[in-house]
Amino acid sequence: MTDFRHIAAASCDYTHFDAVIVGSGPSGSIVARTLAEKGCHVAVLEYGGLVSPGALHGPHQAAYSTALTSSGTADGKPWTACCVGGGMQFYNAITFRYRQADLSASRYLTTDMEIDWPITLQDLDPYYTEIEHLLGISGANGFPSYPASSRGLMLSNAMQTLGIRPKNIPLAIRPPGTSKGCTECSACDELACPTDARASVLARNILDDSALPGTITVLYGCFVNRIETRSDGRAEALECYVPLSSERIRIPVERVIVCANAIQTAALMLRSKSRHAPRGIGNESCLVGRGLSFKISGYSVGHMELTCSNAFVPHWGPHATVYTDEFYEHADVPCRFGGLIYEANFPLPDENVGLVRLHYIAGEEPWSHNRVVLDEAVDRYGIPYIRFEYRNSENDRARISFLADRADDILRHLGAFRIEREPFAHAKGSAHLHGTMRAGHDPGTSVVDSYGKVHGFTNIHVMDGSVMNFAGNSNPTHTIMANARRMALSLE
Ligand SMILES: Cc1cc2nc3c(=O)[nH]c(=O)nc-3n(C[C@H](O)[C@H](O)[C@H](O)COP(=O)(O)OP(=O)(O)OC[C@H]3O[C@@H](n4cnc5c(N)ncnc54)[C@H](O)[C@@H]3O)c2cc1C
């Protein structure tokens, strides 16, 4: 059994852990599980608290710190969600595998940073399969496909008549009518699934599995402020802050694995500046925090003619069931590298009446000027504010505009008499965070090696989306988990 406790109530001996993981999201949880499978005793330190079934996403970002953005105000969101289970507690369960093009995007895009991953798709394949089994991803390995929604079926027809191939989205949700399947109680966006039909690290036996030979202790309510290092390149302790008790505690570590998200992980490394790491951990080449990638994305909303009667009912069920990857790699797209277009229903069932919404998404060019830095201003706990600097290139704007135009074509074909585009708002954070702790063999162009070990340090590792050199054109959680598992299995 996994022990979940507020750290203020833990009174534990912190010295018996083989590894301490920072962050309990999908990456931290799969790393914890992988080490516990090997018989290790693992602690997971998590800042946020436990989420109630049916809870909304907003408070699990808003209650925690904001970040400064290029606007000069603290209006940036540096969390996917701050809670036990991370952003996966609120995600839409869209679980694509990446393609080789995502791992070698330099064939399409050029930037001032290393963009190719130091591994191939083949290296990830076995771990994708394991995650698909653990989460029960629909349409994979014998798990039944999730059926298209009524809007999904309309979109499929419209795509087909335009010569665009529609497909069913692989979802980590048990389909209705299967054992413990989805009851389609809501429109399933930005809320914690109340029935556990949607997979998460808590709703499936990932973090909490009594069959594991090792142990996992999740200590929440604990903000990891700094990693203390020695002159020989070893981490020796974590300095943590517990807001509930206003205490600072020191947790000794044998090994630390940071899985805090690409903004928080970079910030932790920068805060850990010391005489042994004068620019921050792993920051000899001033790369920590650079290459921040949020994904480029947007929405088009079609207002439908009354004749399109299926669009006048509310929507219950998953946020999205149908997509097309027709423009993923396509000669007509700027740079020949597009992304996905998929159904994207509004979070409340009734909000969808009379409307059909599409989302388009692609990975952006990672530039070194897009980055996470620490500001001189400190918050009420004395911790420096995080600041992001982020803007998109002309290429990226052209790529996403191409996808937006194709989405509008589909909606028009479906009978939309008016189409509105929700403005792109990329400078204030995102739920898809990548690129700030780049992976590679050369410490001059990367921060971690291909297994997530920070160059120059023997027991400090990063295993979240920050090690992804290109963000990928698809939703990332499946890949973040598969890659984290691959890296964790490499640990001795
Ligand atoms: C509304 C929503 C919908 C989404 N839908 C999808 C989808 O359909 N498909 C998909 O692939 N992805 C989706 N995502 C993105 C998905 O949630 C992320 O890809 C995923 O959660 C990343 O996992 P992670 O473990 O790397 O980071 P996170 O989930 O962000 O976990 C990091 C954890 O670390 C904790 N932490 C950070 N810093 C510290 C610190 N200093 N001390 C202690 N703890 C710390 C955080 O509180 C957090 O719990 C969605 C996200 C949201 C919010």
What is the structure's pLDDT at 153?
A: 97
Tell me which residue has its CA closest to atom 33 in ligand 1: 23
Are the beta carbons of 451 and 441 closer than 8 angstroms? Answer: no
Is 238's C-beta closer than 6 angstroms to any atom of ligand 1? no
CA distances from 285 to 289, 375, 462 (A): 11, 20, 17
Look up residue 271 and give its amino acid: R
Q: Which two tokens stand for residue 154?
A: 């309309």
Ligand 1 midpoint to CA 349 (Å): 25
Are the beta carbons of 219 and 84 closer than 8 angstroms? Answer: no
Tell me which residue has its CA closest to atom 17 in ligand 1: 87
Choose which residue among 77, 80, 198 to substitute to test ligand 1 binding: the one with the highest number of ligand atoms within 8 A of its C-beta.
80
Is 173's C-beta closer than 6 angstroms to any atom of ligand 1? no
Is 318's C-beta closer than 6 angstroms to any atom of ligand 1? no
Choose which residue among 132, 467, 474, 477 to substitute to test ligand 1 binding: the one with the highest number of ligand atoms within 8 A of its C-beta.
477
Is 76's C-beta closer than 6 angstroms to any atom of ligand 1? no
What is the structure's pLDDT at 10?
A: 87
Measured distance CA(151)–CA(154) in Å, rounded? 5
**CB-based burial label for 35 (10 Å; 0-12, 13-18, 19+):** buried
CA distances from 103 to 30, 108, 126, 433 (A): 21, 11, 16, 16
List, as one string, the DSSP characters of 106-124: GGT---SS--S-SS-HHHH
Closest CA to 280 of 152, 372, 201, 191: 372
Radius of gyration over alpha carbons of the chain, in Å?
22
Tell me which residue has its CA closest to atom 50 in ligand 1: 91
3-state helix, strand, coil in the chain (%, to 5): 25, 25, 55
Measured distance CA(425)–CA(297) in Å, rounded? 9
Tell me which residue has its CA closest to atom 4 in ligand 1: 91
Ligand 1 midpoint to CA 87 (Å): 3
What is the structure's pLDDT at 324?
A: 98
Measured distance CA(429)–CA(425) in Å, rounded? 8
Which DSSP symbol is given to 189?
Answer: S
CA distances from 151 to 89, 139, 190, 308 (A): 25, 20, 19, 10
In three-state secondary structure terms, 447 is coil
pLDDT tens series, the chain, 492 aa: 899 999 999 877 888 899 999 999 999 999 999 999 999 999 999 999 999 999 999 999 888 889 999 888 889 999 999 999 999 999 999 999 999 999 999 999 999 999 999 999 999 999 999 999 999 999 988 899 999 999 999 999 999 999 999 999 999 999 999 999 999 999 999 999 999 999 999 999 999 999 999 999 999 999 999 999 999 999 999 999 999 999 999 999 999 999 999 999 999 999 999 999 999 999 999 999 999 999 999 999 999 998 888 899 999 999 999 999 999 999 999 999 999 999 999 999 999 999 999 999 999 999 999 999 999 999 888 899 999 999 999 999 999 999 999 999 999 999 999 999 997 767 888 999 999 999 999 999 999 999 999 999 999 999 999 999 999 999 999 999 999 999 999 998
State the Cα torsion 300-303-309-310 to the nearest 10°. 20
* Torsions phi, psi for 185 (to 5 deg): -85, -20
Hey, how many other C-beta atoms are within 10 angstroms of the C-beta on 421? 13
First to last CA, the chain: 23
What is the structure's pLDDT at 164?
A: 98
* Torsions phi, psi for 152 (to 5 deg): -60, -40
What is the structure's pLDDT at 381?
A: 87
What is the structure's pLDDT at 306?
A: 87
Fold for 3-489, please state it: FAD/NAD(P)-binding domain (3.50.50)
Are the beta carbons of 359 and 297 closer than 8 angstroms? Answer: yes
pLDDT tens digits along 369-418? 999 999 999 988 889 999 999 999 999 999 999 999 999 999 999 999 99
Is 261's C-beta closer than 6 angstroms to any atom of ligand 1? yes
Is 46's C-beta closer than 6 angstroms to any atom of ligand 1? yes
Is 435's C-beta closer than 6 angstroms to any atom of ligand 1? no
Choose which residue among 84, 95, 261 to substitute to test ligand 1 binding: the one with the highest number of ligand atoms within 8 A of its C-beta.
261
What is the structure's pLDDT at 346?
A: 97
Strands (E) in 151-263, as ranges, are 167-168, 215-220, 223-229, 235-242, 247-252, 256-258
Q: Which residues contact 478 (CB under 8 A, 6 or more apart)?
A: 95, 96, 97, 128, 131, 132, 137
Q: Which two tokens stand for residue 277?
A: 């790491």
